[in-house]
Structure 1
């Protein structure tokens, strides 16, 4: 099995004496869908940002490889990290859309690494590129809102637009940082269903950070739990019993066990185009 992500001995210190990441080692194979689980402040978002090359680890600290290429090592970004980022789609908690622009323009930004600079300045895209954008919006179920400004859509719709952006980007690895944290259960279900279908039907590797065990159990077969910047569990969600969570997290376990799972199965959506 090819390796999508390999992290070795990665540490990050923001405050002297307090590590945000503490000697993290992690391997994710291509085609896996993995949940990073943990209470607030456990290091989930920090780890995702290191994988994407937004942040460097401590000097002399470990390495991060994506698709067999270094993102960073020894506290320094790889020289070709910008080229590698074109293979990594990032779904932010707060969508990162430009509210005043149409949904299509926001999604088309996923193609900018393949578009000449002069075309990106004038927002000029070919018919084929716009068709691929519409196909991506259809795949996440929001193509009928294509012409609307992003700010007019609900939070769940905006998050699915952010996922569509990774589809037109043709990302081989999708990192989703708490993508359902601010959504109601119905919208959260649609977002998680969309990520799961991309993983299942396109074979895209997906790593999603969550703080709800029940949602992790529904959507993923592997959970990597973090606490105080350390990997404290790596295995199936079924073994993460309330007793084990309380043993690992103490009082913080209530944040992970709290209700928040989707309440019903989502309505069928169109299959993703291969």
Structure 2
């Protein structure tokens, strides 16, 4: 079977030998929407950065393949990693937009891997390319703001602009690193709705890191739970029961409980979990 993402035995060590990733193996099929769930320091962001080829794993450690293209193997990035990144959209927690530039210009930077160098340096785009950018902004619901400076948008709107950038990029895999961590509940809902809609309509694989159990259960049919760099659960979100969560995360569970994030529809399975932790 061909996977959108295939990770085999990936490890990453930081200071004093602490492992941010510990022998992680993971496969994601085309069109899947998967939540990476875990508390702070569990390895979610580190794993996403390895999938995108921003960093390499430990020497001799495993491999990462995305869209059939090798990203890294045995601790070394592939020589073709730049080309492979062209089909990987990355949504950062802090939006990664240039505030002084118009929203449409930020979105059109998703085309830079496909346009000549001189046009990428001058940020000159053809009329049909601008139209594609406007269509992407319309899909995420903020085309009315296309020619405003990015800095004038709310946090949620900026995050949706970042998602639109992956659309003009024609990304076949979208990696979203805590995309709602700094957003209010309504903005969080809109961002997650947008990612889910893109997953359904474009059939692209979406992997989103989260630390909110309720959001993961609502939006992602599959959950991969990490703790201390290890995969401790990988399966249908419906199987992630309150008792299992309590066993997996122990004292860290408080960080994963719903605040007021995306409360509707309610998740009845979380009520006993909240009572359990409160006790």
TM-score by length of 1: 0.95
3-state SS in 1 of match to 2:4 = strand
Query: Are residue 34 (structure 1) and residue 34 (structure 2) matched?
Result: yes
Could you tell me how far apart the structure 2 residues matched to 1:199 and 1:260 are? 25
The residue aligned with 2:162 is 162
Structure 1 residue 152: deviation in Å?
0.5
Q: Tell me whether 1:262 sits opposite 2:262 in the alignment.
A: yes
Count of residue correspondences: 265
Residues 242 and 257, structure 1, Cα contact 8 Å, conserved in 2: no
1:264 Cα deviation after fit: 4.0
TM-score norm. by structure 2 comes to: 0.93
Partners of 1:205 and 1:105 in 2: CA distance: 25
Which whole-Å deviations, capped at 9, do the CAs of 1:214-251 have from their partners, x for residues lacking one? 11111010000000000000012222222211211111
Q: CA RMSD in A?
A: 1.0
Deviation at 1:81, TM superposition (A): 0.4
Question: Which residue of the partner structure matches residue 5 of structure 1?
Answer: 5
Which stretch of the first structure deviates more once superposed, 239-248 or 213-222?
239-248
Distance 2:260 2:71 in 1: 34
Q: Name which of structure 1's ranges 111-120 and 151-160 shifts more when overlaid on structure 2.
A: 111-120
Deviations 1:130-188 (A, max 9, x none): 00000000000000000100000000000000000000000000000000000011000
Further displaced range: 1-10 or 201-210: 1-10
Whole-angstrom CA distance in 1 between matches of 2:237 and 2:123? 44
Q: Aligned partners of 2:238, 2:261: CA distance in 1, in Å?
A: 15
Structure 2 unmatched ranges of 5 or more: 266-279
Deviations 1:72-123 (A, max 9, x none): 0000000000000000000000000000000011000000011111112221
Q: Which residue number corresponds to residue 119 of structure 1?
A: 119
Which residue number corresponds to residue 187 of structure 2? Answer: 187
Contact persistence 1:214–1:259 (CA under 8 A) = no
Higher mean displacement: 252-261 or 39-48: 252-261
Poorly superposed stretches of 4+, deviation over 4 Å: none
Unaligned runs of 5+ in 1: 266-274
